[in-house]
Amino acid sequence: MSENILVAVAWPYANSQIHVGNITGSYLPADIFTRYHRLVGNRVIMVSGSDAHGTPVTVRADAEGITPVQVYQKYHAGFLDLFQKLGLTYDLYTSTHTQNHFKVAQDIFLALQKNHYIYSERQQQWYAPSQGRFLPDRYVEGTCYLCGYLNARGDQCDGCGSLLDATLLIDPRSKIDGTTPELRETEHFYLDLSALESPVVEFLRQREGYWRSNVLRQSLGQILADGLRGRAITRDLDWGIPVPMEGWDGKCLYVWFEAVIGYLSAAIEWAEIAGEPSTWEDWWYNPEMRGYYFIGKDNIPFHAVIWPAQLIGVGEWFGKLFQDRADTRLTLPYDVPANEFMNLEGRKISGSRNWAVWGLDFLSRYDPDPLRYYLTINMPESKDTDWDWEDFVRRNNDELVATWGNLVNRALSFSYRNWEGHVPEPGDLRSEDREILATIEAGFQSVGEHLDAVHLRAALLEALRLASEVNKYLDKSAPWFEIKSDKAAASKSIYTSLRAIDSLKILFAPFLPFSCERLHAYLGYLQPLFGNQFTENREDELGEHVVLRYQPGITADQWQPSQLKPGQTLVEPSPLFRKLDIKVVEEERARLG
């Protein structure tokens, strides 16, 4: 029976480019998982978008001398380009700067208020008389009250690394015009997390059996040690979603409060664009739905604690406010398979110091599948890993090319040349032929189980192990010798190899979609394996926004062993991957820093 699966992917801030650490942290694992479930025939939607709001975007706008809208649009366009080149098949990739998202986020806020999980509190904050507005913490600089560093930011000191209370800064000055701000009282809304602590703990306890230990440690473990306290969910800032209340001008919803709501609003927008505006309810109002949140470890508390608290806190009020519907509840996350970090050549990746391998730059020199391969085999699922250029070249040449690419090329070219471009007729298979086919068939179970459990590295290693079994079989049967004396025996060997490769194609497809699509065509299939990605312009009261969409292929239920037909017409093959020269290691290292 087909299941409903939500693949919720981290929302990147639209204020910088995306590097390989971001890709392996959340975007790529989400796509592999999604492609697998599509092949299985489940109803899966993969949604996300650009996080357009908050001080990260306004600070960048000030630095570049452009508006926040221009900053968001510029980086958003780069993301759309990268995601298509890398084959990240979002059913909808949108942004937080849409009328739909504003409405959904405001209704979540109001629903929490209806359930009394929101309260307001007055606090001191820096106010700039020269500008007539309150300054967000990032906009105030001064002397650190802990170490005396002269240029500490309001939220954090680069001198001693401490998180700061901005109101305690010595000699504060506005980052915008250098004038001296003054402390004034301001009022903010808080999410009453302490009142939601016990249902959140219950939610986490129900997931103890299968969540990753680092995720449980940073959610359940933290709550049991420290408890939950109220958290401010509004800011004195005009770039964002307005607080939906009279008398709250100049304040907006805190970017972290509203961005996670995007998992819901993007599903709603996806359904609307697809012309079936209520389909999102099959996911969000369906308690059997499984929602997987693909994020990096720095975002665990927001997804494993605060977002579930928001969903529990709205109760039945979201449905009532949003669509005048009673008796609905939003479904809580099923899993939050957060990844650790990837470092680069032994050091922490740093975008500002250009110590990074940037996605688009990489793809200007290399193909997407070798990147997807290396980032999966080296995925930081349980501990930090390292991008090492020498290791990248070695794994590309010794594993991707030698184990899988050469197997495909040997069997396909030999068959194409010696059987007039057709799959050979094998007659009755021998026991060794049936044996290798059974070994590969079992892979649909073993690789599938790893994928179901979001153990993507293990799944890829298992597929690779099966490919080496077929290599051994092919070496042993040696059809290039058989054909000289016994063409019928060679037909059996080549047919068996092609059929095993046809199965391996499906097992590798979630990881290596571009080369598997080519292989699928070489094997003579006329319908493509996967669907198409495309962008589309949307317009609402906030202006234009561009979204990335995916039109799934027409065939489903493909996660099963090959039934390759003898006699099927092949297409003349060429190698799936290219071997890399070891000299690229020095070239690439010279580009860093």
Cβ 166 to Zn ion, closest distance in Å?
13
Q: DSSP code of 367?
A: -
The CB-of-138 to Zn ion minimum distance in angstroms stands at: 16
321 binds Zn ion (CB under 5 A): no
Q: Which position among 146, 195, 289, 360 is part of the footprint of Zn ion (CB under 5 A)? A: 146
Shortest Å distance, C-beta 386 to Zn ion: 30
DSSP-H helix ranges across 328-367: 359-363
Q: Do strands 385-387 and 133-134 pair parallel, antiparallel, or not at all (unpaired)?
A: unpaired
Nearer to Zn ion, 150 or 183 (CB): 150
Q: How far is the CB of 162 from Zn ion (least distance, A)?
A: 6
Q: Of the two residues 159 and 244, which places its CB atom closer to Zn ion in the complex?
A: 159
Strand, coil or helix: 95: strand
Bridge partners of residue 134, in order along the sequence? 127
Element (H, E) at 389: helix 389-395
Q: Which of 144, 401, 408, 423 binds Zn ion (CB under 5 A)?
A: 144
Stretch that binds Zn ion, among 68-76, 141-149, 424-432, 502-510 (CB under 5 A): 141-149
List % helix, strand, coil for the chain (3-state, nearest 5).
Answer: 45, 20, 35
- Binding-site size, Zn ion (CB under 5 A): 7
CA distance readout (Å), 323 to 101, 259, 261, 316, 579:
15, 21, 16, 11, 56
130 or 151: CB nearest Zn ion: 151
Closer of 169 and 311 to Zn ion (Cβ): 169
Binding residue for Zn ion, selected from 147, 183, 488, 582, defined by CB under 5 A: 147
Smallest separation (angstroms) from Zn ion to the CB of 237: 25
Whats the size of the chain, residue-wise? 593
Q: State which residue, 64 or 158, has the beta carbon closest to Zn ion.
A: 158
CA distance 493 to 589: 44
Q: Which is nearer to Zn ion, 45 or 157 (CB)?
A: 157
Backbone angles phi, psi at 150, to 5 degrees: -80, -25
Q: Which CB, 66 or 147, lies closer to Zn ion?
A: 147
**Residues 149 to 178: which contact Zn ion by CB under 5 A?**
149, 157, 159-160
Q: How far apart are CA 345 and CA 589, in angstroms?
A: 9
Of 160 and 183, nearer to Zn ion (C-beta) is 160
User: DSSP secondary structure string, 1-47?
Assistant: ---EEEEEE---BTTS--BHHHIIIIIHHHHHHHHHHHHHT-EEEEE
Q: How far is the CB of 234 from Zn ion (least distance, A)?
A: 28
* 182-191 β-sheet, strand order: 133-134, 118-128, 182-191, 231-232
Cα–Cα distance measured from residue 377 to residue 464, given in angstroms and rounded to the nearest whole number: 10
Whose Cβ is closer to Zn ion: residue 98's or residue 143's? 143
Min dist CB 167 to Zn ion, Å, is: 15
Min dist CB 149 to Zn ion, Å, is 4
Least Cβ distance, residue 155 to Zn ion (angstroms): 12
Return residues touching Zn ion (CB under 5 A).
144, 146-147, 149, 157, 159-160
